[in-house]
Structure 1
Amino acid sequence: MLKLPSKLKRDDGGRHIPETSHRVSVRDRLLTKEVADLEANLPTTCKASFPDEDKLHHFQLAVSPDEGYYQSGRFEFEIDVPEAYNMVPPKVRCLTRIWHPNITEGGDICLSLLRELSIDGTGWAPTRTLKDLLNFDDPLNIDAAEHHLRDKEDFRNKVQDYIRSYAR
């Protein structure tokens, strides 16, 4: 589990944010709590990593499903939380090439949740948190979605080919 540095005061690890010369943003205050909550509630198939522990707004999430089509794969996602968070959603990108109805082969992800505005009311709202990102039910890769509807066994085979080639 990540040991979060205090963004609000001096800690003994040598990191110091002068209270008089640097204000802690609303985003960073929210992330201090939300990242700890996210890590405490991640399923065993997911692991968060922080290239720079002082930058909670940029991290990666590794997902290794233990069931379903994507079992035995390891998929990396990059999450960037903008300064205007929680009024705007985090930016999420899949770094692992994957055959998935909600993710393009270039890593773009389509989730209603990640949209600032949504006609159906399922888009981002300030009441949402980072934990809400762990839900993938919104189609983007039409070819993959149609492939799944047309031939589930062939879809499974293609997913496994992608896992062998890109997700190990």
Structure 2
Amino acid sequence: MYTKANLAALRVKKDIAELSQHRLNATHASTSIDFPDGTRNLLKLKVGVSMTAGLFEGATFYFILTIPPSYPFHAPTVVCTSRAWHPNIDLHTGLVSLPILTKDWRPVLSINTVVFALQLMFIEPTEHYAVNKPAAAALSSNPDLFREQVRRSLAGGSLFGVQFESHRLGGTADGKGGGHGAAKRKRGFGESMDTEAVQTTLEAMRIQLRGR
């Protein structure tokens, strides 16, 4: 008999298949996805978002998506493990605040939708649903100041007493999330979960989704 966690993992497998087809991929952003715990735990994803244009051009930010056993009826929790100067990312905890992760979540949405939202968050930052109030205030009242704050953060400067890691000259700004390695090959969830298929999908994708 399947548990809720098993059923949620099955849904995640479906979402990953959609991601491999480049659905909902934003222009000017590329995305990588790994399973830090290997295929034995499909309810924890590490997502890397690399920006190729815009205010955050050249930067890569990493996120941990923790998917509840009740998924897709409840949204994942998303934490940014790279320190980022952004209105919707808590400067101290890394918690991401987006309506799609709370009041606007619907069971028809998916991991694919969340990844797309993370891409758009950097392409078109907004002061709405802000958890970094100084960043939101600058973006709303003085966009030039916000632009300078972002530039300083990406260059490894400090803002409001907080030190940022450089995204320049090859810096990864991987933060407390650790290295961005390949998904571990581990069994889990039993043969009915078709673990080999998941591993094959991960190897084929890795997942490098290029913006078009």
TM-score w.r.t. length of structure 2: 0.61
Answering whether residue 99 of structure 2 is matched by residue 112 of structure 1, we say yes
Q: How does 1:126-141 map to 2 (within 5 A)?
A: 126-133=107-114, 134-135=116-117, 136=121, 138-140=128-130, 141=132
SS of corresponding position for 2:21: helix
Q: How does 1:78-97 map to 2 (within 5 A)?
A: 78-97=64-83
- Identify the match of residue 37 of structure 1 among 13, 18, 21: 18
Which structure would you say has the larger Rg? Answer: 1
Given the superposition, is the C-alpha separation of residues 39 and 53 from structure 1 closer, same or farther in structure 2, using an over 3 Å criterion? farther
Paired position in structure 2 for 1:125? 106
Q: Deviations over 1:121-160 (max 9, x none)?
A: xx11111111111223543122111101222222112112
Gaps of at least 5 residues in structure 2 are: 157-164, 172-212
Instruction: Give the helix-richer structure, 1 or 2.
Output: 2
Q: CA deviation at 1:96?
A: 0.9
Paired position in structure 2 for 1:61? 47
SS of corresponding position for 2:45: strand
* Distance (Å, rounded) in 2 between the aligned partners of 1:99 and 1:161: 9
Letter in 2 for 1:113: I
How many aligned positions are there? 141
Paired position in structure 1 for 2:37? 52
Pairwise CA RMSD = 1.9
